[in-house]
Chains A and B, each alone.
Chain A
Amino acid sequence: MEMLGLYPTWLEPMVGSGWVVAIISTIHVLASHTSVGAAMVFAYLAVVAYRQDKPELLDYIKKYGMFLLVFSYVIGSITGPGIWFSTTVASPRGISALIHSFVWKWATEWVFFVIEVVGVYLVVYLVGKVDQKTHMRIAVIFGLASYTTMLIIIGILSFMMWPGKEVWFTEGGYLNGFYGANTFAQLAMRTAFMFTMTAVVGGIVASGIKELAFKKAMLRRLAVLGIVSTLAGSLLFQWYLHTLPEQAHIVLENRLPDYFQPALMMVLSGILAYFLFTLVMPRLIVPAIAGVMTVAILVFGLWPEEVARESIRKPFVAGQYVYSNQVIARDVPGLGIKSEIPLLEEKGFLQSHVFLPENLRTVTPDNARAVGHALAMTACSNCHSLTDTGIRPLAKYFGGNTDVGDIKDYLLGALATGNTLYMPKIPLTDSEAEALAVYIGALKDDTVAENYAATRKPLAQAGEK
């Protein structure tokens, strides 16, 4: 019997597994971008400290470095693998697709990550213990290695959205998947915003410097860095948008709320205003203000950005061939990958899913709700919460209609045929659609399942006779 390699499902009832991934990812982006940016700023400061004989800059490196060790290299280095862990449990075939195409690239990044982690300890702890030129050399290696980790991960993230070149689908090849217009646009944009985050987070440390003149000088440097990087990032964001495929633009226009664009502009304006204030009045910046600004960037800047990025790749989760619900949606001849849609059309989920208890493989009036629940977990729960809270609750998409026939018609007419924008094609069989409809109806009205069983049981028994 040909099986569909779907894993068990993890159902998180409060926020949904997708948001768990998003929360961890957002925190990681803040910590990791800050660490990469800080590494490059450290390299710059170490060079200036050496060439212009300004040892006070090394004191700043040491102080910021200790902070960075906790902020980025505790939280950042744990949430990094944390993204793997969370995507593993939320979307195992999605992360698997990335791992199996880019394992060597990730392994290469790991080499630079090791260099980076050893480097940050040396940069912090060897201030004053090695000559300045050696310290500068270590800081430069640290900065370069740190940026290299970003170069690598951006290519993988770009593939996750869209394989770099269309030819990847037919010919395969790591290079075709990794490099494309989106790779470079995203790299440029993230590099700019990385410095923005560095400037904001660096302000927490700089604002705590006791010597007023040095504090002002450092905060002004960071403010200039922040203004330039925010302006550059805003322009590069336009380039990034330009590299998105048409499908993503359709999703952007139709699925994101109307306030998204104006809100984004307001966030960028707020960040610029903060840096201008810092530039003019550095004396007034205290760690608490810089800390609040960091949290503001996390909540109002990174969170919407991550959510939007997650949205525009729909209905896929990886490489435009793995659906969000983990089904392989298209052929990729370059890697010998076959779409699983034909198998589903022929056998349905119930007869092909590896992880389904035997009592749920056939729909009966008594088990229709339980089968529907299993199908909802498999086919829907990656993007739709099955409770009232969390991401896109499933029950809210049917306008309060609990009629099993109506819901089934929709499922067979719009979803099973793949005619809904933004949604995957879900080729349910007739009995599967009915079971799912019973479950969806029962989400709003508990009696739906009982009534269904009561009316269908006699029919089923008559059929058996």
Chain B
Amino acid sequence: MNAEMLYALRDVAGVPSHPVTFLILGVLTFALHILAVQVMLGASGLVIWGALSKAAYQRQLAQAMLGVAKIAVSVAVVLGVAPLLFVQVIYDPFWYTSNVLSAWWVIGFIVILTVAYLLMYFFYAKNHHLGTQKTICPGSMILSLALMLVVGFIMHVLTYQMLSPDQWMQWYAPNGEIDASGRKLHDYNLWRFGFFISLSVLVISGWLFAYRHYISHRTDVDNGYLQWLKGLATVLSLAGGIVALAFGIGWMATLPDSQAGFGFSPWVGLAAVLISLTAVMPKLIGSRVNAPLFGYGLFGLAAITVIVVAIAREVLRWNILFGDFGYNALDYPVNMDWYSTLLFFGTFVIIGGLVLSYFLTVAWQAGQTEGVYTPSPAVTRLGNLSILLITLWIIHFFVLGLWVWLR
């Protein structure tokens, strides 16, 4: 598959803004998506660990993490829509080909994810009081996590196959005979997959510190539980960091020959430093973890680490597709459309920012309030403004639409 063929596969309509916009948004939204995935995986692991244990603190944590895992799946799905959109915009030749070549698994992804999520809800429905009552049907949660890992692996393969245009024809028509069944997963790298999965241990440790700090203000939480959480999160961060680094080294060591030096690039170096820092930070700061800056900051550090990892991943993809195959995603023809571009950024920044600030403030405060929470006038104004702005958005939709239709 040469560059001319890859360029021929590009969509003939071009893109409505400069491609770099989609590249940046793709990296950022992927980072947020994978962060939610890692929280979900880490929380699910802790749920199973606690559900199979008789220790009170473990079970108490399992109950809390079950709620986290359930919501994290939703968040991961909704956040995953964005990178899925942007990858189709500038990497369409690679994404579509990879998907078609493993089409059966692409459809399987949807079915398996649905089953995995329903199993998690089933476990939740059966175990509302995990902290105090015997675990019912732990197998459903174990199977749910196992299936989540399967869908993760499918997504890993789809992303990985994108990077091998030189092998596509061999996969599609081995020995000149077309195999259009889409039943095969053609290529994978367990080091790379293991790296992203193992990061969930590091991420969930940061999450546990944040969770610990969040509940520390409540009067119904005992101090022993908080101390135990601190110890657990500290161990997890160290272990997660070491495992992630090991997988990361394995990944870099198994890159194609043309990219053999990438492991020594600045982005990989920065990612390695951040992973190490996130891993040892709880030990370094000691008792200062009780301060809000560190309590929540550790999760923030983990999030920054994931963003840098996402950037490094993108740089690697760029290096392979441009360096090895001559495909430049940034020279995609542009059919500039200012209206839809500005509408997105306006909606994203103003409405998205405002409404989510309101939602998260209310949820945060309500969680820390014993009894019924009534927001302050300032927070309420934020809510009213949210309603006003969405209403204006809807009015704009109809007014503009009718004008275009009737003119």
Q: Which residues of A contact B (CB under 8 A)?
A: 1, 3-5, 7-13, 17, 20, 24, 69-70, 73-75, 77-82, 84-86, 88-90, 92-93, 95-97, 99-108, 110-115, 117-119, 121-122, 126, 128-131, 134, 137-138, 140-141, 144-145, 147-148, 151, 155, 164-165, 172-176, 178-181, 183-184, 328, 332, 335-338, 354-360, 370, 373-374, 377
Of A74, A80, A95, A134, the contact of B121 (CB 8 Å cutoff): A74
- Most B CB contacts (10 A, CB to CB) among A174, A184, A354 go to A354
> Is B4 interfacial (CB-CB < 8 Å)?
yes
List residues of chain B with CB within 8 A of the CB of A81: 77, 80-81, 84, 110
Q: Which residues of B contact A (CB under 8 A)?
A: 1, 4-5, 8-17, 22, 25, 71, 74-75, 77-82, 84-86, 88-89, 92-93, 95-97, 99-101, 103-104, 106-107, 109-110, 113-114, 117-118, 121, 168-169, 172-173, 176-178, 180-182, 333, 335, 337, 339-341, 343-344, 347-348, 351-352, 355-356, 358-360, 362-363, 366, 369, 372-375, 380, 383-384, 386-387, 390-391, 393-394, 397, 400-402, 404-405
Tell whether, in the assembled complex, residue B335 and residue A336 are in contact, meaning their CB atoms are under 8 Å apart.
yes
Q: List 23 A-B contacts (CB under 8 A).
A: A3-B8, A8-B101, A9-B100, A74-B114, A78-B114, A79-B114, A81-B81, A85-B110, A88-B106, A90-B103, A100-B16, A107-B25, A107-B82, A108-B344, A129-B373, A130-B362, A134-B362, A138-B383, A144-B390, A144-B391, A174-B16, A179-B404, A374-B178
Tell whether, in the assembled complex, residue A108 and residue B8 are in contact, meaning their CB atoms are under 8 Å apart.
no
Complex: A84 Cα to B170 Cα, angstroms: 26
Complex: A102 Cα to B74 Cα, angstroms: 24
**A358 CB to nearest chain B CB (Å):** 7
Closest 5 CB pairs of A and B: A89-B103, A10-B103, A104-B340, A3-B8, A11-B180
List residues of chain A with CB within 8 A of the CB of B169: 355, 357
- Most A CB contacts (10 A, CB to CB) among B13, B86, B394 go to B13
Tell whether, in the assembled complex, residue B8 and residue A354 are in contact, meaning their CB atoms are under 8 Å apart.
yes
Complex: A187 Cα to B88 Cα, angstroms: 27
Of B14, B96, B109, B114, the contact of A75 (CB 8 Å cutoff): B114
List residues of chain A with CB within 8 A of the CB of B12: 5, 328, 335-338
Tell whether, in the assembled complex, residue A3 and residue B106 are in contact, meaning their CB atoms are under 8 Å apart.
no
Tell whether, in the assembled complex, residue A130 and residue B375 are in contact, meaning their CB atoms are under 8 Å apart.
yes
Tell whether, in the assembled complex, residue A354 and residue B121 are in contact, meaning their CB atoms are under 8 Å apart.
no
Tell whether, in the assembled complex, residue A10 and residue B404 are in contact, meaning their CB atoms are under 8 Å apart.
no
List residues of chain B with CB within 8 A of the CB of A9: 100, 180
Tell whether, in the assembled complex, residue A85 and residue B107 are in contact, meaning their CB atoms are under 8 Å apart.
yes
Tell whether, in the assembled complex, residue A151 and residue B397 are in contact, meaning their CB atoms are under 8 Å apart.
yes
List residues of chain B with CB within 8 A of the CB of A105: 340, 343-344
**B344 CB to nearest chain A CB (Å):** 4
Complex: A30 Cα to B79 Cα, angstroms: 22
Tell whether, in the assembled complex, residue B81 and residue A80 are in contact, meaning their CB atoms are under 8 Å apart.
yes
Tell whether, in the assembled complex, residue B22 and residue A354 are in contact, meaning their CB atoms are under 8 Å apart.
no
- 15 further interface pairs, Cβ-Cβ under 8 Å (given A144-B390, A165-B404): A3-B5, A8-B97, A93-B11, A96-B88, A108-B344, A110-B78, A110-B82, A112-B347, A122-B359, A131-B373, A145-B390, A174-B339, A335-B14, A354-B9, A370-B177
